[in-house]
Structure 1
Amino acid sequence: MSRDSTLLLLNKGHVEVLLSPDEVVVAVRESFLLHYEQKGRLFPVVRERLGTGGIFGIKSGDVEAHGLLGFKAAGFWPGNRLVGSEPHQATIVLIDPHSGRPICVIDGNAITTIRTGAAGALGLAMLARPESTTMCVFGTGVQAQIQTRFALDVLPSLRHVQYMTSGGGRDPEFESLFASRCEVKPAGNANAAVAASDVVITATPGRSVLFDCSAVCGGTHISCIGADTRGKRELPAGLLERASVYVDDSVQSVEIGELQWAPTVSCSEFGEVLANGLRVPRTSQEITIFDLTGLALQDLVVARMLYMFAGEEGVGTTVEWPW
């Protein structure tokens, strides 16, 4: 049976076997460069609230030179928590650009988590002060965990991590993940924790502003993850105007990211930073912000990598998909 008459299915278990954090960082870096060099296209984002209480989105794009075409259907269903399941859900589909036939369907949850973590890691490596020792993380869920893990990898000087939960209490599970690598403890007050931190990571559902603008001191770097839909925000009014702002995509940031609240603020796309190949020069008092809304190219480049690995290692379930 020829491969073009079959469909490869990669479930959660397959993806977890194939994923390598280091290789994902390489793939995400490639996606930023493809975007900057205009070799990869991003199609208009779909992001809509549902009557069920969920949020449904589609991110899609292509890289013609690589024969890469596809989309990720994803969103946020808070009701899943009531049955002990993950509220973020994602499915990635790779499509043959010559025939329009689907070639691979992949569980996208782990891919979304780790590619966002990898993007955050690249941002910290290029934008944050390398001597940073203190960090504050808003959120303790899956995305906060992966962002913290990568932050400790790329900023080895980090020694102290404070975190904020939605209820303001402790999260023993989060602490246990990082206790061997740094001092980790709950923050008693959001503003005080931000003021004491060199790095701030916001990884919440983006329902409301998390801290006051006046709490952010010169020299701070902030990575923003939670604003990915119209109406969402994590940063206070006036902060973007004080900072050097970097985005994964300028259009998306204005449409669904933090720049929807300050669309006239100038920004730089992060792909240009990577293309220059040098850590961004910054003054000791400069505030930098990286607004990550997530690129379809990140999902597709990582998915293509897994598809290739799966073929080499015989991983996945192949089903007949005749013309």
Structure 2
Amino acid sequence: MIIVPEREIAGLMTREAAFDAVEKVFAAMASGDAYNFPVIREAIGHEDALYGFKGGFDKAGLTLGLKAGGYWPNNLEKRGLINHQSTVFLFDPDTGKARAMVGGNLLTALRTAAASSVSIRHLARQDAKVIGMIGAGHQAKFQLRAALEQRDFQKVIGWNLHPEMLSNLQEVADEAGLPFEPVELDGMRDADVIISITSSFDAILGADQVGPGTHIACMGTDTKGKQEVDPQLLKKATVFTDEIAQSVSIGEAQHAVAQGLISESDISQLGAVINKTHPGRRSDDEITLFDGTGVGLQDLAVAAAVVDLAVEKGIAIEVDF
């Protein structure tokens, strides 16, 4: 079995490689060549932690496995560790033998950012100039860096429940040589693209706080009960997702579906746009929304790419198992 520890991931996986892996797996999902297993995600009753498993099988890429991990909200304050902790396990689809164990923390951040970035490439207006961020935590920096590569953005605006954290967004904007402006939520009407990346259980962004032609990537809702935007916004928008079953059960769409504002048939896979079996955006005034629930196949795709790179560079740890 091959082991690629967390400390090696930064030197192996790039944003570009993560984007390519996630885009390909979304396309495979939409064409029926890959599928995700049901998600298990539970509050364990210890340290306020959420723990679970996401897995799947990509028949095209012959990638089989799962990611185990979750969210420990006290990690940073108590232990100096990031709150999201995970490990990816890959198995040989021909024999069932364990193939690899890969550190999943940075990979999770990169693949989550890649997913919203893929949605921006395929759904945002070509002339998008202002990007708005809702949320300014650890993951927000990854989201913003990846998103800025998809359009010729000229300004970053941001909102966070705790304004002192907006310095994270300012840092990334400075790196890109772009101006950054903190705004109230009403200020998001000026954004051409909005990324929400929070752990909220209450709607933050209202339907009337989004202008015509905006593309929104909702990336924080991945558990039953979580919510980042007003369900009325999904009624106004053309809704896309990574996995429809997850979107209606644990994603942002769960609330709009429960309230009867939209139905499952109103949601399309982003992979269908990539495969050109769905036209995607139809007009410059259309609001598009990507419900990024986070699927196991994303984790497996980036982990498999890392294993190949680790072997190629001679830094993979091999053990008998």
Offset at residue 289 of structure 1 (A): 0.4
Say whether 1:231 aligns with 2:231.
no
C-alpha spacing 1:194/1:311, structure 2 compared with 1 (3 Å): same
Q: What does 1:78-93 correspond to in 2, within 5 Å?
A: 78-82=73-77, 83-93=79-89
How many pairs align?
Answer: 312
Query: What corresponds to 2:172 in structure 1?
Result: 177
Query: What corresponds to 1:4 in structure 2?
Result: none
Offset at residue 177 of structure 1 (A): 2.4
Question: TM-score by structure 1 length?
Answer: 0.92
Q: In 2, are the aligned partners of 1:126 and 1:278 still within 8 Å (CA)?
A: no
Measure the CA separation in 2 of the matches of 1:182 and 1:131: 16
The residue type equivalent to 1:201 in the other structure is I
Query: What corresponds to 1:101 in structure 2?
Result: 97
The gaps in structure 1 that reach 5 residues or longer are: 1-6
Return 163-172 or 129-138, whichever deviates more: 163-172
Residues 131-173 of structure 1: CA deviation (Å, up to 9, x unaligned) = 11112101112321111112211111x1111112222345334
Q: In 1, are the aligned partners of 2:137 and 2:168 still within 8 Å (CA)?
A: no
The residue type equivalent to 2:111 in the other structure is R
Q: What does 1:34-53 correspond to in 2, within 5 Å?
A: 34-52=28-46, 53=48
C-alpha spacing 1:169/1:14, structure 2 compared with 1 (3 Å): closer
Q: In 1, are the aligned partners of 2:137 and 2:165 still within 8 Å (CA)?
A: no
RMSD: 1.7
The residue type equivalent to 1:150 in the other structure is A
Offset at residue 72 of structure 1 (A): 0.4
Measure the CA separation in 2 of the matches of 1:108 and 1:215: 35
- 3-state SS, counterpart of residue 262 of structure 1: helix
The residue type equivalent to 1:280 in the other structure is G
Offset at residue 302 of structure 1 (A): 1.4
- 3-state SS, counterpart of residue 209 of structure 1: strand
* Fraction of identical pairs, as percent: 32
Question: TM-score by structure 2 length?
Answer: 0.92
Q: In 2, are the aligned partners of 1:126 and 1:279 still within 8 Å (CA)?
A: no
Query: What corresponds to 2:310 in structure 1?
Result: 310
Measure the CA separation in 1 of the matches of 2:168 and 2:285: 34
Say whether 1:298 aligns with 2:294.
no
Measure the CA separation in 2 of the matches of 1:103 and 1:212: 46
The gaps in structure 2 that reach 5 residues or longer are: none
Query: What corresponds to 2:109 in structure 1?
Result: 113
Query: What corresponds to 1:62 in structure 2?
Result: 57
Return 173-182 or 140-149, whichever deviates more: 173-182
Q: In 1, are the aligned partners of 2:28 and 2:60 still within 8 Å (CA)?
A: no
